[in-house]
Structure 1
């Protein structure tokens, strides 16, 4: 077959098969790259030099189109990049709430033991001042003691609690 006849035969196959291949690619990968893949299919068939010897050019074009899709899938898989945006609300590390709760319970228990170990009057003065928020003057008036007595008991309570590593 001469080059001119071969060229005309190829043009004829192109005109008859181009729409079918375009439809094939659109179904497989969408309209974006379909026309480029049709052109690539015909270019590969022409460059192969086998067009002159084909008994079934339509079948050869279909097989070439399928191979292009396989190559495209491999290329996309090889070049695939997974992007995982950081969602700080979801991905940030969480504070150890459970551990904090356990530590708080242990601290309360140690605080209670240390308070119970205080002399009764010292414990009462300390709790009136710290728990009820009373001033030294108010505590003194309620108990009928002076300012220096309140200071003495507060210092003793704080020293005992500090010794228990609570202050």
Structure 2
């Protein structure tokens, strides 16, 4: 990764978060827009394309549009279909075991990244992801601005993406 690629993504975040928020609020509603903006930047941080952003605004807008499409598909097919498990015929197979090992490795990398975060960033991240508080609730609980909550979430997601990319 270019040394300034992370800086480029942070600059794109500062430059485009407001317009993305308004776009997502219009298309998904005010309640879901902050989380969707976060998801846009999480996907951007995990994308290999983040290393050579020529048009960051267009890149982020495309991710937002794809999120809305995915969301619409999930809502359309939200009915769960359950199939009976035949334990004798459908036991664990080596590929599933390998996937479980990879999942355990990713979990270890994720936990290490969370532990390595600065205390305030870790607190904001855990309040949102574990306690499921909204940005507004975190802002009120900690007495920090919503923009600061967004900054800490972006910083946390960037550190996690960096740890996961480095650990593979």
Please report the TM-score for the alignment, with normalisation by the length of structure 1. Answer: 0.45
Whose relative contact order is higher, 1 or 2, with alpha carbons under 8 Å and at least 6 apart? 2
Please report the TM-score for the alignment, with normalisation by the length of structure 2. Answer: 0.45
